[in-house]
């Protein structure tokens, strides 16, 4: 089996992450996305491409009347990303790359040492990396600090180092009801584990009150302090901003992987 088969099987990226070979995992993920570009995305019309993006993400703050309104998308991305709390030189973990709007919101606000984004969909990554409807988003996904990992986040997060990240963006769209695997107590507890003390978490909670309440309770039970619940512009969809207390645990990760691995 060659590297394509290993990536497609879901085996190689988790193993590389386990070994902290983040850069190699990023390289293989981008190659797999490039394959998806050639065999699928490159054959699509603009309408087919944008329809796919909406079907996967649930919409990006755009409307049918004003498709891919970059200003509207940028405002929504900024609410989800919570960029004002990301410190200079920090490490960010993102669940759900999408087309890169949350990455872009943080990229234009501060510089990070590592920005690791996990997405399970090679076609979505092909669009984001090689055929992005917003060129600025695509450009941000190719910066030196950026790591794109094609993998199941539920499987990958438990392999990440303890107290390693300063900020987490959980944008597991299109909404919690359609993607409940990303909104479990186990996932929330692992996000707590990988965050440093004083670390911050922004999690998309959707428009359903029942799910927002459930997510709030899971965050509280894990030990997070919820700071605020904010709504996307012109939408009932909510985002919860939370913080890991500064007295919670210590920074235990070893410094061997500052170079992002092999």
> How many H helices and E strands in the chain?
11, 7
253 falls in which pLDDT band (50, 70, 90)? Answer: very low
Q: At what angle do helices 122-130 and 46-57 cross, to 10 degrees?
A: 120
Q: Give the per-residue pLDDT at 69.
A: 72
- Identify the CATH assignment for 3-257 out of 3.40.50.150, 2.60.120.10, 3.40.50.10490, 3.30.930.10: 3.40.50.150
Report pLDDT digits (tens) over 40-82: 999 999 889 988 988 888 765 555 555 567 777 888 889 999 9
| Residue of 67 and 35 predicted with greater confidence | 35
C-alpha torsion 212→216→219→222, nearest 10: -120
Helix (H) or strand (E) holding 203: strand 195-206
Q: Is the pLDDT of residue 256 over 60?
A: no
The pTM of the full predicted model, rounded to 2 decimals, is: 0.91
Cβ neighbours of residue 213 under 8 Å, at least 6 residues apart? none
| Residue of 173 and 178 predicted with greater confidence | 178
Q: Is the pLDDT of residue 225 over 70?
A: yes
- Rounded CA separation 97/205 (Å): 16
Q: Which of 138-147, 208-217, 245-254 has the lowest mean pLDDT?
A: 245-254
């Amino acid at each position: 089996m060659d590297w394509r088969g290993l990536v497609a099987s879901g085996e190689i990226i988790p193993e590389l992450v386990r070994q902290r070979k983040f850069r190699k995992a990023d390289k293989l993920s981008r190659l797999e996305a490039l394959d998806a570009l050639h065999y699928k995305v490159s054959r699509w019309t603009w309408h087919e491409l944008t329809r796919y993006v909406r079907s996967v993400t649930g919409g990006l703050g755009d409307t049918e009347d004003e498709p891919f309104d970059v200003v509207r998308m940028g405002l929504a991305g900024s609410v989800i990303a919570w960029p004002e709390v990301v410190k200079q030189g920090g490490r960010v973990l993102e669940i759900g790359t999408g087309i890169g709007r949350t990455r872009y919101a943080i990229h234009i606000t501060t510089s990070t040492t590592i920005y690791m984004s996990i997405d399970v969909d090679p076609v979505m990554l092909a669009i984001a990396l090689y055929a992005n409807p917003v060129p600025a988003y695509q450009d941000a996904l190719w910066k030196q600090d950026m790591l794109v990992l094609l993998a199941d986040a539920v499987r990958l997060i438990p392999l990440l180092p303890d107290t390693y990240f300063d900020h987490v963006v959980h944008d597991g769209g299109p909404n919690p009801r359609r993607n409940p695997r990303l909104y479990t107590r186990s996932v929330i507890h692992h996000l707590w584990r990988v965050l440093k003390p004083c670390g911050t978490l922004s999690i998309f909670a959707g428009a359903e009150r029942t799910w927002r309440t459930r997510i709030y309770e899971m965050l509280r039970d894990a030990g997070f302090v919820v700071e605020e619940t904010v709504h996307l512009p012109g939408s009932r969809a909510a985002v919860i901003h939370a913080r890991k207390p500064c007295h919670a645990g210590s920074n235990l990760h070893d410094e061997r992987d500052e170079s992002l691995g092999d």
